[in-house]
Amino acid sequence: MRIVLVEQSRVGLKIMSTMLRQRGHEVYEFRDGEEAIKYIEADEFVELVITSFESLTISGLQVCWEARLLAGESRALYVIAMSSTYDGHSLERALDSGADDFIAKPPNDQELHARLRAAERLLAAQRKLIRLANRDPLTDLLNRRAFLEKAAAARDRAIEMKMPLSAIIVDIDHFKRVNDTYGHDVGDDVIRTVAQELNNCSSVVGRLGGEEFGIILEWQTPEEGFEVIDRLRKVIAGLEFDTALEPIRVTVSAGIASGPITESIRTLLKRADLALYSSKQNGRNRVTAFDSIEATIEPGSTDAGTVAA
């Protein structure tokens, strides 16, 4: 596991980190509680926090509380508090501050690792629940709620770092015809395959419902974002699906909207949806940028700049 260890004593820090590393854990050592919290916030792969009641800046109890807030409902994170005073009052304070477990300091090696094995079991269960709550079961993409949350967070990053941001809505063309003609098994296969292709372009990709998908592109200009989604459109148009009747191909239409990022993510997505509607109205199998809603790229065209903002 990736573990953040917070202990004011240099000697105690060294002893515990050695204990943990000998069992194969990846340990990041901190004497300063505030620095530890900053690291936990920045590194989403931290799974376990072990903190003494004492640290150089903030108390271990506050580290527990801050770590629990960072985890929220979307991150599996286990917190263990330690204190040289091992009594009912200390245990109560630790658990009330957001800790999942409490151990005496210095910990016994066998007891510590038994507790870590229990933590691993609970973390696995947490990760499964989080995935069930946030992922679409057919495609394993973000579900609508989780996508909107991730999209809003991406928009906040874009504002803070003054970087470009684009919202894209993608829809499979004539999907009802696929279901009606070839069956829902083929329809599911089409949705899964399209989802896999779309998932390659961004970390924020979700299934919004049915055959409709949402994408948030960070760090890319509107022109670059247009090129990304138009390239994916062409890839998807080249895929072939086996059916009981005959091999088939499908196409997708898309709309893209970029900034200003001071507006809400829902506004950006609404504009992307309007651009998607324009793509559908103008023949499908194309991408339309909201800022040039009357101009679309014909299938096979390489001149993305004619419609990108």
What are the catalytic residues? Answer: 211
Cβ neighbours around 34 below 10 Å, total:
15
- β-partners of residue 50 are 5, 80
Cβ neighbours around 82 below 10 Å, total:
27
In angstroms, rounded to a whole number, what is the distance separating the alpha carbons of residues 123 and 78? 7
- β-partners of residue 142 are 135, 206
What residue has token string 């696929």?
Answer: 178
In angstroms, rounded to a whole number, what is the distance separating the alpha carbons of residues 202 and 190? 20
By CB atoms closer than 10 A (0-12, 13-18, 19+), residue 132 is exposed
